[in-house]
Amino acid sequence: DAKTTQPNSMESNEEEPVHLPCNHSTISGTDYIHWYRQLPSQGPEYVIHGLTSNVNNRMASLAIAEDRKSSTLILHRATLRDAAVYYCILSYSGAGSYQLTFGKGTKLSVIP
């Protein structure tokens, strides 16, 4: 499985932008980059995904390096509700399965 590396924790002030980095130097050409987050006492929640180009949706933006060996999840204005563990995941499609391989993720704390 392709691996990702994320900082264990980060802090942000409320209403400021947050940049969550992820390294994935062994990514293959067909791997998608996914971000999920898990709020306390809830199941993981999809945030965004991309392949090569930068992506935007209502929740966040995903900036992907040109060599695809790293990416950054951008929350444009952090709110207290964004405090969660954020997971950067590379897709795995062995034998037609699309299992998600979760790492430890980055625990984001938002300071009021």
CA gap 70, 41 in Å, rounded: 29
CA gap 71, 33 in Å, rounded: 8
In whole angstroms, the minimum distance from the beta carbon of 46 to other proteins comes to 4
Look up tokens 């933006």; give the residue. Answer: 61
In whole angstroms, the minimum distance from the beta carbon of 14 to other proteins comes to 26
Nearer to other proteins, 29 or 112 (CB): 29
Nearer to other proteins, 13 or 93 (CB): 93
Which residues in this chain contact other proteins in the complex, by CB under 8 A?
32, 36, 41-46, 49, 93-104
Look up tokens 């964004």; give the residue. Answer: 82
